[in-house]
Structure 1
Amino acid sequence: MFEHRQYRWPQPLKGSRPRIWYGGDYNPDQWPEEVWSEDVRLMGEAGVNIVSLGIFSWDRIEPREGEFDFGWLDKVIGMLGRAGIAVDLASATASPPLWLTQKHPEVLLRDQEGHTVWPGARQHWRPTSPVFRDYALKLCRALAEHYKGNPYVVAWHVGNEYGCHNRFDYSDDAMHAFQEWCRQRYGTPQAVNEAWGAAFWSQEITDFSQIIPPRYVGVQGSFTNPSKMLDFKRFCSDALKAFYSAERDELSRITPDIPLTTNFMVSVNSSVLDYDDWGDEVDFVSNDHYFLPGEAHLDEMAYSASLVDGIARKRPWFLMENSTSAVNWRPINYRKEPGQLIRDAMVHLGMGADAICFFQWRQSRAGAEKFHSAMLPHSGENSQVFRDVCELGDDLNKLADAGILETRLKKSEVAIVFDYESEWATENLATPTQQVCHATEPLDWFRAFADHGVTADMVPIRGPWDEYDTVVLPSVYLLSEKNSQRLREYVKGGGKVIVTCYSGISDEHDHIWLGGYPGSIGDVVGVRSEEFVPMGDDDGTLDHLELTNGTVARDIADHITDVAPSAKVLASYKAGEYTGLDGVPAITLNGFGSGLAAYVGCRLGREGLSQTLPELLGQMNVPYVKGQDTGSILRVERGATQDGKDTCFVFYFNRDSKPAAAAISGVPVVTSHASVDAGRKNALLEPNGVVVTKE
């Protein structure tokens, strides 16, 4: 449906076989030269075959304006390449040198209150600054001209984590660019007024010059125009994308044979950019992912990796960064437990990654990230982390030898839809409840299906979700007329969909669909809700609702007052006499065309959804869920058909905090923190254990 940039994957060095790319960020400029030889030696021991180089090295590459020093970089690249280690070379534009910001302070960000964001951290530049773009593109040209034809550079690492620190800029440069973005999108001031509902509070414009970013509006900042704020978030994603594209095109013009990427930040709590939109603009998709501490660690990782696979449209993707153990930027930086370093890497590999890399190779002695773990920790090679790094390198080579690079993540029977713009819209503070947003619901559904042995595919809303047997729309708050019709045609043609509360509330401008909720697809789900029922823990307020199926709703529910004749009620609320909610429908099932549409009108959480799924999907004639006894094992398959033969690699992960048994098939290729019986029919996985077999 949507065209991606032509897919191109980094190719192995001349004379080398295709392998799973394995390595991490390498920052030799932080260390004296005598350390470099030791690094290359230990990389060889660990099985490292690629490093990302020069990400924050602008001031070393261009120490003074127009004076380039490639000597040290040439030496490092040569040492690495001769040792069989490829280079993913950065454009080095992530953070400007001090000489640039001293000469041109106008390139620095401005925050919402107009304060300058000064140098001292990173990414303190404006994406819309023409001055900064000129300097960045000069650097790109110099790098590309110098390294074109270099046999050891196999990919360009353009920028780094765009928007991590400079997602929002409120400067005059941003203002002028936002005005032009609106002009291109809407054409006339009146169209802007209509899109933003600007008649409210006298916000109509008569000229594009009257548009300003959503700057500080006082203590009532929560009441910034939500339609304007949504467009500003779209603009910020597009502005950064335009900057990235300019770098990409300059590098590609000079080195057309080298594929390019930039590292996304896809995880359950990161919707900084519209990464699915950005996925069209890279030669191959890359992601940085850092584990979520606690009991959801494994599930969130699988969920996020599945979403990256969806963005990549099931093409191989590159895990550009993850951590060997603790990070440095949380209030409490928990270490990884025994087994998690290898297990976590295998989750990403199982979910479609053909590259496993870490931040970073050698742990820093100084700077803001000195306590961030690395492949070679402060304690050196005589450490469990480094031994695990070496073991992982060996495991990845075993899997490459067994043929895993020829396979892709198999398509699931179930698609769970994710929408970046719905997440942006539900971040607005003037909503029915701050306890509900789009981002949290997809993970609950992913985990509930996993409790029943089903590993769902996370599919962006622009993706091919309507090619699946069963689709879940979890609090997809924004539904345009186009997407509403797409869903309508899917169900009418025989599709099966589960829609939750807080879906189909507004159109793409965040204008409410009128007539009751969910306004744009009420005919599909066969229900009409007149009002939201938020729940909280304030004294005397409703804090939960019990359902007749034994589950409990919290945070929000729909007050459903109309049910179509074609729909049946599967569960209702049991509530106090004076709440007006006793007997109100909570879960319904509607026949629409040749398909079925279930509606879950409340937030049940992972446990409630897990309890609900067997009966709900049974009513929908969906055979994938059989019971809850499969929930301790997450099973992932990568497969391919070659020469008429099917090959499948099956990954078994223990989701429990105690040992778990799994019936396995095929020949074990990798076993970590697990044991397999002599007959190769059963495995016992410790917490954080993994077994990979080949069928």
Structure 2
Amino acid sequence: MARSYRWPQPLKDQPQRFWFGGDYNPDQWPEEVWDEDIRLMQQAKVNVVSLGIFSWSNIQPSEFRWNFGWLDRIIDKLGRAGIAVDLANATASPPLWLTNKHPEILWRDERGDIVWPGARQHWRPTSPIMRHYALELSRAMAEHYKDNPYVVAWHVSNEYGCHNLYDYSDDAQEAFRAWCKRKYGTIEHVNDAWGTNFWSQRMTDFDQIILPRFIGEGNFTNPGKLLDFKRFSSDALKDFYIAERDALAQITPDIPLTTNFMVSAFGVDIDYDDWSSEVDFLSNDHYFTPGDAMLDEMAYSASLCDGFARKHPWWLMENSTAAVNWRPINYRKQPGQLERDAMVHVAMGADAVCYFQWRQSKAGAEKYHSAMVSHAGEHSQNFKDVCKLGSDLQTLADAGVLGTTLQRARVAVLFDRQSQFASEHTATPTQQVRHAYEPVQWFRALLDLGVTADMVPPTLEWEEYEAVVVPSMMMIDQAMADRLRAYAEAGGKVLVTYASGIVDEHDHVWLGGYPGAIRDLVGVRIEEFAPMGNDFDGTPESLQLSNGAVAHDWADVITSVEPDTQVLATYVDKPWTGMDGVPALTVHEFGQGKAAYIGCRLGREGLVRSLPAVCEALGFELPELADTGSDGQLAIATDGGTQRSSNVADNRLLITKRVAKDGKSFTFVFNRVFEPVSVATDGHVVISNNCEIQGSNLELAPNGFAVIAQ
């Protein structure tokens, strides 16, 4: 059963505000710095900090010795200054006294090598010994702070699976066998699910189940086993989290709990849709992608968090004020991006903005990671920007943005971690294709066409959307196939891409031609795939479409279409390749609705070129793009439409809307390009940045945004 949604409440006699602050590590600094920190926090309007995340060794210096004194002192100082605490149970990084005494808690890689302490997350999720010590610490923390008025939330561990997602220890093997027994009941059912008649892998007892450990360079692990191992690994961490969560909740039932997810376009390694029902409120750590995808990827990831959170307010637990420290090249942020980036998450439903970290470390592996207070101190542009953000968040709260809901978009783009699990196997038609690549390309392409989509997990009720995109969802089970058919029969518009509907939930191929799970829905039959690449001289790197788009990496060889399937584009190629004239883009009527099939990887540019014709054939109206000339200013009216037309958009802008129960709404408008963009509105500008306001006209500079009350 899903936990009830609970949001951390403000300290006594304080109003509801956006939570604003960051990870605070006072144990890394002399106590004389603490008062200076609190002064600066008050100046920046910080009202919450996360404490104790990596402080196990300072809270419990040895097995039978506890030291809460320093933590008590800083919590008291913070609380008396009006700053609440999101308190970690400190289990993320076991201390050396524990790993020295019990090296058997250390996780092992696929070759069986021990991963030694020296960084963080060097523990195995299935270790009974690690669980014993972690729960002992959790209970001690809960007992000590159960009546502390300044603790408003529990921060359970930290970024589960960031380093220890896949463990190949004997503990993990024993737990995996038990997981398989619970899931399948009999070893025969495991054999059927894993297809073990292949390569003589059939088992007669659960004790014969082994982890997908190293089997030699160039060899291939059983895909069914690997799929279940990835599911098990997510579940093993979730079980550990639940044990910690319940240990805290039993003693402090009134304090809401969360753990910080790591959702980004390229970093969703855990089944967070499954995890989302186990937290009281969702929180996420997100770090920007450098380059021209920065804004779009941020919006994509934040929208996915909104989907996981079921449109409840969620918490941006970590982001960065400027550079991170863990990339080969750690790019800075441009002027205006600190606040712009925070507001993108707010625009997508976040009611809290926090950073790693409050004060930039002077020692350790993260000393070059940016912070709210940088090495340059308070007399810096960075801290001025932090202070402005704190003030603007307070202004948004006063205006009524807090607690509003992100308005549902017209289009849902599905993101499916199970399909990503399946597509990660090393024996697929091409290693250049993974499920995670495609959704972000669709999100960006739709933005280019003036449509802001919602990123949605398949378990959500996406049937309420006007159109749904099924992007490279390799794994579609019978239930999902039935949902898609029912949706189309009722009048829905479905857009299905290549590499979708190929296998079922066990990674078994649907027979009879691809995409076997939904072949009748899309009205095409595929006999084989035509991957593309340049790893051999003379191999095809791309395919031209008759509409001028270019396919790369993957194309489907569509051998037949239903009589009522409309072919919108074909491939143009040499006659002897077998691809010339093969359908590439189709639309098929199904019940009261229609289904489009995009049989190749087009990328963002190819989708932008192709989708207008596809959407027209589907009956899905794309907005008219505003003229970007001197007289083409987009006008945002208080009714949510525009002054020229109710169906006009500017693809240079990212626009979202948060709506209150009383109907009041707030439109967030962001400049997506590196040139000024003009907007006219008869609404009230609540806050803005890098924006020149002249009457009802707004000129958004690069990295500029405005929030308009309507």
Normalised-by-shorter TM-score class = over 0.9
Return the offset for 1:271: 2.0
- The answer as to whether partners of 1:674 and 1:689 remain within 8 angstroms in 2 is yes
Return the offset for 1:550: 1.4
Residues in 1 aligned to 2:619 and 2:111: alpha-carbon distance in whole angstroms: 55
Return the offset for 1:612: 1.4
1:338-357 deviation line (CA, Å, top 9, x unaligned): 11000000000000000000
1:510-555 deviation line (CA, Å, top 9, x unaligned): 1111111111100000000111010112321111111111111111
1:276-295 deviation line (CA, Å, top 9, x unaligned): 10001000000000000110
Worse-superposed segment, 531-540 or 362-371: 531-540
Return the offset for 1:174: 0.1
Partner of 1:262: 259
Residues in 2 aligned to 1:672 and 1:437: alpha-carbon distance in whole angstroms: 37
Provide the alpha-carbon RMSD of the alignment.
0.9
Residues in 2 aligned to 1:492 and 1:373: alpha-carbon distance in whole angstroms: 52
Q: Which residue identity does 2:406 align to in structure 1?
A: L
Residue 631 (1) aligns with residue 638 (2): no
Residue 150 (1) aligns with residue 148 (2): yes
Partner of 1:396: 393
Partner of 1:659: 676
Which of 613, 616, 625 in structure 2 is aligned with 1:615? Answer: 613
Worse-superposed segment, 129-138 or 458-467: 458-467
Note the 1:540-619 alignment, pairs <5 A. Answer: 540-619=538-617
**SS of the residue aligned with 1:556?**
coil
Which of 439, 444, 449 in structure 2 is aligned with 1:442? Answer: 439
Return the offset for 1:627: 3.8
Residue 131 (1) aligns with residue 123 (2): no
Residues in 2 aligned to 1:26 and 1:391: alpha-carbon distance in whole angstroms: 20
* Structure 1: gaps spanning 5 or more residues: none
Partner of 1:57: 55
Q: Which residue identity does 2:442 align to in structure 1?
A: W
Q: Which residue identity does 2:484 align to in structure 1?
A: L
Note the 1:106-185 alignment, pairs <5 A. Answer: 106-185=104-183
Partner of 1:409: 406
Residues in 2 aligned to 1:398 and 1:566: alpha-carbon distance in whole angstroms: 56
**SS of the residue aligned with 1:163?**
coil
The alignment's TM-score, normalised by the length of structure 1, stands at 0.98
Return the offset for 1:628: 7.6
Which of 331, 338, 341 in structure 2 is aligned with 1:334? Answer: 331
- The answer as to whether partners of 1:23 and 1:50 remain within 8 angstroms in 2 is yes
Partner of 1:238: 235
* Structure 2: gaps spanning 5 or more residues: 628-649
Residues in 1 aligned to 2:196 and 2:686: alpha-carbon distance in whole angstroms: 61
Q: From the superposition, tell whether residues 360 and 442 of structure 1 become closer, same or farther in structure 2 (CA, over 3 Å).
A: same
1:438-478 deviation line (CA, Å, top 9, x unaligned): 00100010011111221100000111112211000000110
Partner of 1:677: 694
Q: Which residue identity does 2:692 align to in structure 1?
A: S
**SS of the residue aligned with 2:165?**
coil
Q: Which residue identity does 1:446 align to in structure 2?
A: F
- The answer as to whether partners of 1:613 and 1:625 remain within 8 angstroms in 2 is no
Residue 461 (1) aligns with residue 458 (2): yes
Residues in 2 aligned to 1:267 and 1:397: alpha-carbon distance in whole angstroms: 27
Residue 423 (1) aligns with residue 420 (2): yes
Residues in 2 aligned to 1:236 and 1:636: alpha-carbon distance in whole angstroms: 36
- The answer as to whether partners of 1:305 and 1:348 remain within 8 angstroms in 2 is yes
Residues in 2 aligned to 1:289 and 1:521: alpha-carbon distance in whole angstroms: 35
Partner of 1:211: 209
Q: From the superposition, tell whether residues 80 and 621 of structure 1 become closer, same or farther in structure 2 (CA, over 3 Å).
A: same
Q: Which residue identity does 1:647 align to in structure 2?
A: K
- Counting aligned pairs with the same residue, the percent is 63
Residues in 1 aligned to 2:3 and 2:65: alpha-carbon distance in whole angstroms: 34
Note the 1:314-393 alignment, pairs <5 A. Answer: 314-393=311-390
Return the offset for 1:265: 0.1
Residue 650 (1) aligns with residue 667 (2): yes
Residues in 2 aligned to 1:672 and 1:160: alpha-carbon distance in whole angstroms: 32
Return the offset for 1:626: 2.7
Return the offset for 1:494: 1.1
Residues in 2 aligned to 1:388 and 1:192: alpha-carbon distance in whole angstroms: 56
Residues in 1 aligned to 2:564 and 2:524: alpha-carbon distance in whole angstroms: 10
Residues in 1 aligned to 2:439 and 2:681: alpha-carbon distance in whole angstroms: 29
Return the offset for 1:16: 0.2
Partner of 2:637: none
Residue 92 (1) aligns with residue 103 (2): no
Return the offset for 1:406: 3.3
Partner of 2:639: none
Worse-superposed segment, 251-260 or 683-692: 683-692
Q: From the superposition, tell whether residues 142 and 72 of structure 1 become closer, same or farther in structure 2 (CA, over 3 Å).
A: same
Return the offset for 1:686: 1.1
**SS of the residue aligned with 1:412?**
coil
Q: Which residue identity does 1:152 align to in structure 2?
A: Y
**SS of the residue aligned with 2:226?**
helix
Residues in 2 aligned to 1:511 and 1:661: alpha-carbon distance in whole angstroms: 52
Return the offset for 1:641: 3.0
Return the offset for 1:663: 3.1
Residues in 2 aligned to 1:322 and 1:406: alpha-carbon distance in whole angstroms: 21
Return the offset for 1:665: 4.2
